[in-house]
Amino acid sequence: MPTKKINVTIWNEFVHEQNNDAAKKVYPQGMHIALAESLAAEDLHIRTATLQEPEHGLTQEVLDNTDVLLWWGHAAHDQVADEIVQRVKERVWEGMGIIALHSSHMSKIFKELNGTSGKLHWREDAELERLWVVNPAHPITLGLPEHFELPNEEMYGEPFMIAEDAKVLFMSWFEGGEVFRSGFTLQRGYGKLFYFRPGHETYPTFYNENILKVINNAIHWAKPVISQPYPQTHRPEPLEILSEKECTFEKAGIINEKDL
C-alpha cells in the first residue's frame, strides 16, 4: 500500500530577494523556491506561499490541506494579518506541524505559539557557526554528525527568550564567542513546533546538505499524529446521571458559538 504523502507548505515573506541584490544573487527565485526544489522527494507534496499573495497564500483551504508549514519571515512581520496568524495558530492546535526558520523568532505566529518575546542578541558579520547536536537520539537529529559548520552566518546569541518547556536539540557556537540554543521543539495543542536558527537571506545556508537534512527530518517529525478540531470546551451532557441538588444556582458561563 503506497505511503501517504506529507503535504508541506513553504511560506516565505519574499521581500529581501526582491529588494536586496545580495539576497537576490543567492536566491534568485526566492528562498521558498530554493527550499522546495532542494527538499523535493517522493513522499512530500510541496507547495509555496508568500506574503504578497491574497491572504498571504494561506487560505483556510490551503491550511486545512497542510500537514507541515515552514515559515521564514524577517522584514515584514508586521505586515502579516492578525486573522491569518490566528488561522495558522488554530491549525497548529488541531495538529498541523510548524517549522519556524531563522528570523521567524520575531514573527507574530512564533511569538503566539512560543508565548514569550522571542528576543535575542544578534550581529551580522559573516561569522563561522558551529552547530552541536545536543540530543543525537531525536528524530530531527538522526543521520547528522556530532557537529557541523557553516562558514558564514549571522550571529544569534543568548539570552534567547523562549518558552520554559522548549526541548533543545542544537547548540551553536559562533566565531565571535557567543553561544545559542539554535534548534528546539515545543508541543502546542495537538501540533508540534520546531525552531531552527540558520538561514540568513544573504548566505547560501539553504543549499547546505546538513541543513536540508535537519529540515527534512523535522518535516517527518512534525507531521500530524492526529489532525482534528481541538476539544470543544462546552460539554452540556454529563457521562453519568447527576444527583439532585438541594441548592439553587444560575448558569453564568459564557457560551460562544464555536464551543457548541
Over residues 15-27, the pLDDT tens digits come to 999 999 999 999 9
Looking up cell 550571529, which residue turns up?
155
CA–CA distance, 196 with 199 (Å, rounded to integer): 8
The whole model's pTM is what?
A: 0.92
Report pLDDT digits (tens) over 58-98. 999 999 999 999 999 999 999 999 999 999 999 999 999 99
User: What was the pLDDT predicted at 248?
Assistant: 73
Q: What is the mean pLDDT of residues 114-138?
A: 97
Comparing 104 with 226, which gets the higher pLDDT?
Answer: 104
**CB-based contact 163:111 (threshold 8 Å):** no
Q: Write the single-letter amino acid at 30.
A: G
Task: Give percent above pLDDT 90 in the chain.
Answer: 87
- How does strand 179-188 pair with strand 191-196? antiparallel
User: What was the pLDDT predicted at 245?
Assistant: 81
pLDDT at residue 121 greater than cutoff 80: yes
User: What was the pLDDT predicted at 2?
Assistant: 64
**CB-based contact 63:85 (threshold 8 Å):** no
**CB-based contact 132:171 (threshold 8 Å):** yes
Q: What is the mean pLDDT of residues 134-140?
A: 98
CA–CA distance, 88 with 70 (Å, rounded to integer): 11
* Mean pLDDT for all residues in the chain: 94
User: What was the pLDDT predicted at 229?
Assistant: 83
Report pLDDT digits (tens) over 213-259. 999 999 999 999 988 887 777 888 899 998 988 877 676 665 555 54
- 3-state SS class at 241: coil
Q: What is the mean pLDDT of residues 179-197?
A: 97
Task: Copy the grid coordinates of residue 129.
Answer: 557557526
User: What was the pLDDT predicted at 188?
Assistant: 97
CA–CA distance, 196 with 103 (Å, rounded to integer): 9
CA–CA distance, 227 with 95 (Å, rounded to integer): 5
Q: Angle 209-222/31-39 helices, nearest 10 degrees? A: 80
Task: Give percent above pLDDT 70 in the chain.
Answer: 95
User: What was the pLDDT predicted at 251?
Assistant: 67
Q: Name residues whose C-beta falls within 8 Å of residue 13's C-beta, 6 or more positions apart in sequence.
A: 50, 51, 72, 73, 74, 75, 76, 79, 80
pLDDT at residue 208 greater than cutoff 90: yes
Task: Copy the grid coordinates of residue 71.
Answer: 515559515
User: What was the pLDDT predicted at 183?
Assistant: 98
